[in-house]
Amino acid sequence: MAAFAAYTIIGLSLGGIFSLAALGIVLIYRTTGVLNFAHGAMGMFSTFIAWQVFYGWSHPFWPGWLSTFLAVLAALIFAAGMGLFLEFAVFRWVRSREPVVKAVITIGVLLALQSAASLIWKNNQYHLPIYLAPQQWVWVVPVADVPIGANSIAIIVVALALAFGLGAFLRYTSFGRAMRAVSDSPTSASLWGVPVGKVGAVSWMLGSLVAALAAILITPFINFDTTSLTLLIIDALAAALIGGLVSLPLTVLGGFILGLLETYPTIWIQSIGFPRLVALVVILAVLIVRNPRGFSVAAK
């Protein structure tokens, strides 16, 4: 029972990360029509910026929280810049092309980012994870005797807060309304004076930020290197598909469900590859059960 509860905590933390990553995918897909296969790679690159600041450049006499803060800040600034750069340098020029072409372009982005990171930070090397909260902060739930790390709580809280924050931003602010208008129909939105280009740039920036946050948060849970973070994309896509690539609340729910589904089998099956099979089965189930034509409504 205690083991089951402990796995639930791990599953929920993983799920929080998946839903964060998926939120970025859904955001970018809805407003720009780009299904971003490079989402994991973008998060990976920003995470390595954080890693570099945290382990490479911070001074040993600084307090730990300062190093963490600076590392995350640097990663987020970099992520925002990368998102804007990709929008202005690449995706602005292909806005009117079919969704498939845009998706293939993101594969180019993925390959370039992954090998650039592997060039700088070496692919097969062990990298120490980045903890947002100190590892020693662990609470034990009195009834079930389950230890809960502060990191797990931070992940779940950040995921939920960002999901609700994004939802509120889209619903209650005028820029959020502009984004929703663009996601419904870019042509009519531009006729009503919505700055479609600006909306695209902001979505890329926000999506990239969320990807960076998700990738930084996941580092304590996986053996973190350039490929494993890039491959986070499949779990994020699975969660995003549960939300139909449209709905933010369903995406978050999907992320948590996927996290639990991927964690519980590891009680019995010791395999690094098995969770990927779970993700594939979830993707297939969602795509076969729901009418895939429904997705083309959101595709522009």
Compute the least distance from the CB of residue 127 to other proteins, in Å: 17
191/289 with CB nearer other proteins: 289
Q: Is 271 in the site for other proteins (CB under 8 A)?
A: yes
Give the separation between CA 216 and CA 204, rounded to whole angstroms.
Answer: 18
- Work out the angle at residue 15's Cα, subtended by the Cα atoms of residues 175 and 284, and round it to the nearest 5 degrees: 95
CB-wise, 54 or 121, nearer to other proteins? 121
Q: Which of residues 65-124 bind other proteins (CB under 8 A)?
A: 90, 93-94, 97-101, 103-105, 107-116, 118-119
- Kindly state whether residue 247 participates in binding other proteins, applying the rule CB under 8 A: no
167 binds other proteins, rule: CB under 8 A = no
- Picking from 223, 194, 188, 256, the residue whose alpha carbon sits closest to that of residue 23 is 256
Q: Could you tell me if 213 and 20 are in contact, meaning their C-beta atoms sit under 8 angstroms apart?
A: yes
Give the C-alpha separation, 12 to 263, whole Å. 9
How many Cβ atoms are within 10 Å of 144's Cβ, its own excluded?
14
Cβ–Cβ under 8 Å, residues 178 and 196: no
237 forms part of the interface with other proteins (CB under 8 A): yes
Residue tagged 């973008």 (tokens): 42
Q: Which is nearer to other proteins, 70 or 231 (CB)?
A: 231
Contact 258, 159 (CB under 8 A): no
- Of residues 12-31, which lie at the interface with other proteins (CB under 8 A)? none
Q: Are 99 and 300 in contact (CB under 8 A)?
A: yes
* Cα–Cα distance measured from residue 115 to residue 46, given in angstroms and rounded to the nearest whole number: 14
Using alpha carbons, select from 200, 21, 229, 212 the residue that is nearest to residue 102: 200
Q: Is 272 in the site for other proteins (CB under 8 A)?
A: yes
Rg of the chain over Cα atoms, rounded to whole angstroms, equals 19
Beta carbon of residue 103, minimum distance to other proteins (angstroms, whole number):
5
Using CB under 8 A, pick the residue from 160, 234, 246, 253 that binds other proteins. Answer: 234
Taking the C-alpha atoms of residue 212 and residue 20, their distance in angstroms, rounded to an integer, is 10
Contact pattern for other proteins over residues 115 through 154, marking x by CB under 8 A: xx-xx-----------------------------------
Q: CB under 8 A: which stretch of 142-150, 175-183, 209-217, 289-297 binds other proteins?
A: 289-297
Chain positions 34 to 63 lying near other proteins, rule: CB under 8 A, are 35, 37
Name the site residues for other proteins (rule: CB under 8 A). 35, 37, 90, 93-94, 97-101, 103-105, 107-116, 118-119, 227, 231, 233-234, 237-238, 241, 271-274, 276-277, 279-280, 283-284, 287-288, 292, 295-296, 299
